[in-house]
Amino acid sequence: MLHRTLPIMQLRERRFGDQWAERWSILDDSFLIMEQALADKGKQIASVLIEVVQRKFPFAPDCVFEDSQQATDGAARPTSASGENGNSDSSD
């Protein structure tokens, strides 16, 4: 789960780069494949972990950190490089 938070350490002006994004995606896919294999074997905790990670850590390599001084409402939060909020789940 920790690797999911790494993208929000990026600043819009100083991104980690394409090679880093590709490696992050490979790592993320590897964890998903591993958890999915456990879920396919009937391990219920694996299905729960997959859902928790996807809902609570929805970040991707294009997410960047938006400083609270730049945010319109004063809250520091991750956003995608295009400026959209990195969290698409508003039910939290």
Place of tokens 């009937």: 42
* H or E stretch at 21: helix 18-40
In this prediction the pTM is: 0.66
Reported as a single tens digit per residue, the pLDDT across 20-48 is 999 999 999 999 999 999 999 999 999 99
Q: What is the pLDDT of residue 89?
A: 45
pLDDT, mean of residues 58-79: 70
DSSP string for 27-73 = HHHHHHHHHHHHHHTT-HHHHHHHHHHHHH----TTEEEE-TTTSTT
